[in-house]
Amino acid sequence: MNKQKVWLITGASRGMGLEVAKAVLANGDKVVATSRNLQEQVKAIGDVSGNFLPLKMDITNDAEVKTCIAKAIEVFGTIDVVINNVGYYLVGSIEEISDQEFRKTFEVNVLGMVNVIRNTMPYLRKQRSGHIINISSNMGYIGYANTGSYNASKFAVIGLSEALAQEVKPFGVKVTVVAPGMFRTGFISDANLAVASNTIADYNVATHVKMLHGFNGNQPGDPKKLAGVLLNIVQMEEPPVHLPLGSDAYQSIIEQRKNEALELEQWKHLSLSTDF
């Protein structure tokens, strides 16, 4: 019988985070569910006895992150699984996106994640166990026009996860970076999709936004099945470091890797021409 685990899930009031939190509680584990909107979170998950600890936490505020993690340890005594799920998606070409908008993408998608990792690792390192699951995207492997800031931040999540996996392996802590494709959540709905405030007609970003809204409600991925996969991998002795989820993510990443290999081979003569 698997022992009861304590999960810390960021962005647990909606979308993937909410589905994972519900699945974890249904599995009999404990959840520290964090979001910026505590009321929304409690309403979404409901009152689940002593296994559910909802906390208001802005991941970009390091002091707030420290306080919430200390509270989680105080209540449950440990943290076994960390799900870094919070994400911010901004549409706009590189020329259109302001410095402030670009920085916000990184503050949420990268620096906020680092705050959570930095402040949970002392506990995981001390107990010599744990599993950190960072949510990236298939867009962390493939750049797309008009989503450059999101691409850049999600590429960064993959890089930092690869480095982290090597750093914490000696302490018995596992790391998986998940790259979902399009899942049927409200992530690209009107309410959640941010667009650069100063658009330039030449880039025709409105068409890109219209395309994304057309996908909403028709995404191939089932978030409940994603939650089931995460429940499964935390039981593994040797979980994957890289885990694309969704047929669209898998196929697009494989295709990208094939094209990259062809390009590398095409220009191999230049690559090898610069050594002494």
Q: What is the mean pLDDT of residues 180-199?
A: 75
Catalytic residue among 154, 161, 174, 252: 154
Q: What is the mean pLDDT of residues 23-38?
A: 91
DSSP string, 35-66: ES-HHHHHHHH---GGGEEEEE--TT-HHHHH
Q: What is the CATH number of the domain that holds 182?
A: 3.40.50.720
pTM for the whole structure: 0.93
Per the structure, the count of domains in the chain is 1
Q: Where are any strands of DSSP class E within the chain?
A: 6-10, 30-35, 52-56, 81-84, 90-91, 130-135, 173-180, 194-195, 242-245
For residue 1, count other CB atoms closer than 10 A to its CB: 3
Q: Is residue 199 part of a domain?
A: yes
Catalytic residue among 88, 149, 150, 153: 150
**pLDDT of the residue at 209:** 83
- 270 assigned to some structural domain: no
136 is catalytic: yes
In a domain, 253, yes or no: no
Q: What is the mean pLDDT of residues 64-93?
A: 95
Classify residue 267: in a domain, yes or no: no
| Arithmetic mean of pLDDT, 250-265 | 97
Query: What's the average model confidence in pLDDT over 241-250?
Result: 95
Average pLDDT, the chain: 91
In a domain, 252, yes or no: no
> Which range marks the domain in which residue 228 is found?
6-247
Is the pLDDT assigned to residue 156 strictly greater than 60?
yes
Structural domain contains residue 157: yes
CA dihedral 198, 157, 219, 236 (to 10 degrees): -170
Catalytic residue among 35, 136, 137, 252: 136
On the question of pLDDT at 198 being above 70, the answer is yes
Q: Is 254 contained in some domain?
A: no
Active site residue 150: yes
**Is residue 260 situated within a structural domain?**
no
